Amino acid sequence: MASHGVPRPSTITTKDEQARLKEEKDIKDYRALVDLTSEREYSLEVLELTSKLLTKNPEYYTIWNVRRRLLTYGLFSKPSDSSLLSMELPSTSQTDTTTTSSADSSSSLSQATPPSQNSRMTGKTGTTLDAIKNDLAFLVPLLMGWPKCYWIWNYRLWLLQQAKERLDMEIARAIWTQELGLVGKMLTRDNRNFHGWGYRRKIVAELESPELGGSSMVETEFEYTTKMFSASLSNFSALHTRSKLIPKLLNERRSDDGARLRFLTNEFDLIAKALWTDAYNQSAWFYHEYLMTNLLEPVMQSTITPNMSSTERSAYVVLQIENVKEMLEGEEECKWIYNALLGNTMALWQLEERSPMSDELQDCKTWLVELRKLDPLRRGRWDDLEKEFRRF
């Protein structure tokens, strides 16, 4: 069985006696950690145990909830220290992740009471800031090892929310800003990680919020998507984020109809370069389809050119169809070109509220024949389209 076209290697291996004994010991140690962390004592010792367990298995979401409770009813509810804490994040080594700013690091926190809903630490001193920074540092090597683990991302967002709710605005904003830098480094390592892109959108939304004294970051984020797409033309996540930014970008620029049309043309030019480079670039075709949708939607419903008349839209769609036709030369085996030509031509009929002309209908039938050969798994869809053509 293959996954994304990559055959799975055989998982059946013969283990020698030494490997079997080591595996049994690892399982025994793991189960012992699980038993120890199930204790309901809010102590630093249990917090350290959760660190060890999550380092072995970050997918164990129940332990993340245990860790939340340990912080909420333990470190977060302790009084502030008297020493001023540095805003610089601590080292990300595993040995540093279980240390706290409390002088009595071995004392039990089991007697701590849950904090009041209205309580707010100043954030300038105290174990709250230290605990948040230490825990954020603890997660960094986990994210590097398991960059697509939902539970790590969810827990990290929870920590950042705690900073927002419990610390001074200036300090909380500094922590969120550092987080934007971190996710930028992660996307440099893996620029198509959709977890990282979704996380970045959440971080930016918080940095823009009034609670953190923010302002719009749409221009800089739009430039960021351009840079990331230029580095990898198949970066679907960058294009998806770009599509989400466009309506807000044009509104903030107060773009008139002429500026909006020029913007749309520039976007078509950008994506056309990617398609001419690689006609099989599925991500680029999806973004091309998004741009075409802005032309094919009814007037006033387009997010890019809402005031463009139906006549102007039709002329622009015809131009784009001709541009795509040119890509066929030398790429006759690319199903994405035929799919775009067929879909956009049929959409043009609906936009102009007319029946197809004879040459258009013949072209569509020809493209449909090619799609049947290149994409046989969608035979049912091609059968339905063939029946629709018979009506004309």
Q: Parse the chain into domains and list their residue ranges.
A: 29-101+121-166
Task: Evaluate if residue 137 carries a pLDDT over 50.
Answer: yes
C-alpha span between 160 and 172 (Å, rounded): 8
Tokens of 63: 């332990």
**Longest CA pairwise span in the chain (Å):** 85
Q: Taking residues 10-35, what's their average pLDDT?
A: 65
pLDDT tens for residues 173-210?
999 999 999 999 989 988 888 889 999 999 999 999 99
Query: Percentage of the chain surpassing pLDDT 90?
Result: 62
> Looking up tokens 């950690």, which residue turns up?
33
Other C-beta atoms lying within 10 Å of the C-beta of residue 196: 24
Confidence of residue 147 (pLDDT cuts 50, 70, 90): confident
Q: Does domain 29-101+121-166 have CATH number 1.25.40.120?
A: yes
Q: What is the dihedral of CA 231, 233, 236, 240, to 10 degrees?
A: 80
Residue with tokens 């998982």: 11
Region 66-91 average pLDDT: 59
Confidence category of residue 113, pLDDT binned at 50, 70, 90: very low
Rounded-to-integer distance, Cα 97 and Cα 90, Å: 9
Of 67-71, 95-99, 165-169, 178-182, which range is least confident? Answer: 95-99
Q: What is the pLDDT, as a whole number, of residue 4?
A: 44
Asked if pLDDT for residue 5 goes beyond 50, the answer is: no
Residue 5 tokens, joined: 């076209």
Residue 125's DSSP bridge partners are: 84
Q: Sorting pLDDT into bands at 50, 70 and 90, what band is 73?
A: confident
Q: Are strands 2-3 and 6-7 parallel, antiparallel or unpaired?
A: antiparallel
If we measure between CA atoms, which residue out of 250, 246, 228, 247 comes closest to residue 238? 228
In this prediction, residue 90 carries a pLDDT of 35
In tens, the pLDDT along 202-243 reads: 999 999 999 999 999 999 999 999 999 999 999 999 999 999
Question: With bands split at pLDDT 50, 70 and 90, how would you rate the model's confidence at 101?
Answer: very low
Q: In whole angstroms, what is the distance from residue 118 CA to residue 115 CA?
A: 8
Taking the C-alpha atoms of residue 127 and residue 104, their distance in angstroms, rounded to an integer, is 11
Q: Is the dihedral of CA 49, 53, 55, 58 positive or negative?
A: negative
pLDDT digits (tens, 9 = 90+) for 308-357: 999 999 999 999 999 999 999 999 999 999 999 999 999 999 999 999 99
> What 3-state class would DSSP assign to 50?
helix
**pLDDT value at position 2?**
46
- Written as six digits, the tokens of 80 are 């502030």
With beta carbons less than 8 A apart as the criterion, state whether 127 and 100 touch.
yes
Residue 124 CB neighbours (<10 A): 14
**Mean pLDDT of the region 74-95:** 44
Cβ-based neighbours of 147, under 8 Å, separated by 6 or more: 186, 190, 193, 195, 196
What share of the chain has pLDDT > 70, as a percent? 77
Q: How far apart are CA 3 and CA 352, in angstroms?
A: 43
* Average per-residue pLDDT for the chain: 83
Q: How far apart are CA 20 and CA 5, in angstroms?
A: 32
Contacts of residue 244, Cβ cutoff 8 Å, sequence gap at least 6: 201
Regarding pTM above 0.75, the answer is yes
| Distances 74 to 67, 78, 85, 105, 197 between C-alpha atoms, Å | 10, 7, 19, 12, 33
The percent helix, strand, coil of the chain (3-state, each to 5) is 65, 0, 30
Comparing 103-112, 152-161, 276-285, 382-391, which segment has the lowest mean pLDDT? 103-112
The pLDDT of residue 139: 95
- Which of 10-19, 191-200, 377-386 shows the highest mean pLDDT? 377-386
